[in-house]
């Protein structure tokens, strides 16, 4: 399984794979649920290997650590999901 950072780079740089509508789902610790945002609402910063900036549907902006990303979808189909350990918690 590739890392979410590698997947985001592939979407950005691979013109064939990058076609489609992508969404990223990350765990929000305050709401205790996965928030899904369109890839267009995410900003990656050069040299930042720890987080990205997400513009929420309500207009707020959050820094999201890569380790909180739980899933990615392309055209409504899940193409990536963070591994889950035997105790039900997500793996790092």
Mean pLDDT for the stretch of residues 67-75 = 95
Q: For residues 3 and 70, give the distance between their C-alpha atoms in angstroms, rounded to a whole number.
A: 11
Residue with tokens 């609402």: 41
Domain count, the chain: 1
Decide if 51 is inside a domain. yes
Decide if 89 is inside a domain. no
Decide if 40 is inside a domain. yes
Name the β-bridge partners of 38: 23
Q: Are 43 and 56 in contact (CB under 8 A)?
A: no
Instruction: Write out the residue range of the structural domain in which residue 62 sits.
Output: 4-81
Decide if 41 is inside a domain. yes
Q: Are 23 and 32 in contact (CB under 8 A)?
A: no
pLDDT in tens, 18-69: 999 999 999 988 889 999 999 999 998 888 889 999 988 788 898 999 999 9
CATH number of the structural domain spanning residue 44:
2.30.30
Q: For residues 61 and 2, give the distance between their C-alpha atoms in angstroms, rounded to a whole number.
A: 27
Decide if 90 is inside a domain. no
**pLDDT in the model for residue 87:** 53
Q: For residues 62 and 24, give the distance between their C-alpha atoms in angstroms, rounded to a whole number.
A: 14
Decide if 87 is inside a domain. no
Q: Are 38 and 55 in contact (CB under 8 A)?
A: no
């Amino acid at each position: 399984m590739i890392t979410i950072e590698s997947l985001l780079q592939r979407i950005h740089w691979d013109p064939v794979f990058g076609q489609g509508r992508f969404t990223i789902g990350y765990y929000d610790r305050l709401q205790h649920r996965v928030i899904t945002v369109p890839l267009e609402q995410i900003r990656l910063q050069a040299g930042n290997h720890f987080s990205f900036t997400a513009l929420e549907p309500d207009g707020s902006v959050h820094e999201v650590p890569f380790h909180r990303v739980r899933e990615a979808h392309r055209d409504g189909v899940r193409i990536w999901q963070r591994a889950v350990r035997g105790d039900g918690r997500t793996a790092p």
